């Protein structure tokens, strides 16, 4: 891993990076599996298997009936997600620290494989919507992560071109792949133990949790301008 230059913009993954929303995801999958007579996954299996957007992952799982499974899934998620949603440890501190990196803060955005409407509803529920210049979810771009398209769409909303000065912060190897596809720096949140570990993720930089990332960003914010080039 390498030392990164201070970010000109930060894009964030959502689930398991900024928020813990696994309860709603599990409820949605349970409902879909029950509707089709399929065995449920444990929470550990959900954490280990849920990576791609629904429009990519459900057709192989449910075949020609995947759209009906989608509707069952979203009905259960929408009934659950505000009540079970909570910030990840250190997430709010990291967002505040990023807001201190420049006189008006560096532009921030979210790129998630969660459906765009759900993503934006959750950001509003937490009171975070104003933290971000772009909130891009599954279905908002021509393709979902790990394609570059959603990151590029978010950067367009932030008014920042892609490049190594843009950090994409996520918790999985798929997130790191998406960052590289967009030409951005791949920053790992956590150790990716649920996704094959650091070696598989191969990030440009890694932070143990949101608090560690917040501490690093706060230190950059206090550095004199010459040290931030």
Please check whether residues 79 and 133 belong to one and the same domain: no
Structural domains in the chain (count): 2
Whether 6 and 228 have beta carbons less than 8 Å apart is answered as yes
Residue range 15-68, pLDDT digits in tens: 999 999 888 888 889 999 999 999 999 988 888 888 888 888 999 999 999 999
Residues 16, 104: one domain?
yes
Q: What is the pTM of this model?
A: 0.86
pLDDT digits (tens, 9 = 90+) for 139-183: 999 999 999 999 999 999 999 999 999 999 999 999 999 999 999
Confidence of residue 1 (pLDDT cuts 50, 70, 90): low
Provide the pairing of β-strand 86-87 with 19-20: antiparallel
Residues 16, 123, single domain; the answer is yes
Question: How many angstroms separate the CA atoms of 30 and 139, rounded?
Answer: 23
Q: Where in the sequence is the domain holding 36, given as residue range(s)?
A: 22-84
Assess whether 67 and 95 both reside in one domain.
Answer: no
Q: Of the candidates 84, 103, 127, which is a domain's last residue?
A: 84
| β-pair partners for 20 | 86
Q: Give the per-residue pLDDT at 55.
A: 85
| One domain for residues 34 and 16 | no
Alpha-carbon dihedral angle through residues 49, 51, 54, 55, given to the nearest 10 degrees: -120
Boundary (domain end) residue, out of 35, 64, 84: 84
Q: Tell me, what CATH number does 35's domain have?
A: 1.10.150
Please say which residue of 69, 84, 99 terminates a domain.
84
**Nearest 5°: phi and psi at 134?**
-145, 140
The secondary element (H helix, E strand) that includes residue 136 is strand 134-138
**Torsion angle (degrees, nearest 10) of CA 172, 116, 212, 92:** -160
* Structural domain contains residue 44: yes
Which CATH number do you get for residue 108? Answer: 3.40.50.1000
Rounded to 10°, the helix 91-98/210-222 angle is: 20
């Amino acid at each position: 891993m390498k030392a990164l230059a201070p970010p000109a913009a930060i894009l964030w993954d959502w689930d398991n990076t900024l928020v813990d929303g696994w309860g709603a995801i599990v409820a949605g999958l349970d409902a879909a599996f029950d509707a089709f007579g399929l065995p449920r996954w444990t929470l550990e299996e959900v954490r280990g298997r849920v990576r791609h957007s629904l429009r990519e992952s459900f057709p192989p799982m449910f075949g020609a009936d995947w759209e009906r499974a989608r509707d069952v899934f979203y009905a259960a998620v929408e009934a659950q997600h505000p009540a079970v949603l909570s910030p990840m440890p250190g997430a709010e501190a990291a967002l505040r620290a990023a807001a201190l990196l420049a006189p008006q803060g560096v532009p921030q955005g979210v790129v998630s494989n969660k459906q765009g409407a759900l993503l934006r509803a959750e950001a509003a529920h937490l009171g975070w919507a104003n933290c971000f210049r772009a909130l891009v979810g599954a279905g908002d771009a021509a393709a979902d992560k790990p394609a570059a398209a959603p990151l590029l769409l978010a950067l367009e909303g932030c008014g920042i071109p892609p490049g190594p000065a843009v950090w994409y912060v996520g918790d999985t190897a798929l997130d790191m792949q998406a960052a590289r596809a967009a030409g951005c720096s791949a920053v790992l949140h956590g150790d990716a133990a649920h996704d094959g570990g650091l070696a598989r993720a191969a990030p440009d930089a890694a932070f143990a949790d949101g608090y560690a990332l917040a501490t690093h960003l706060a230190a950059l914010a206090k550095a004199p301008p010459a040290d931030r080039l």
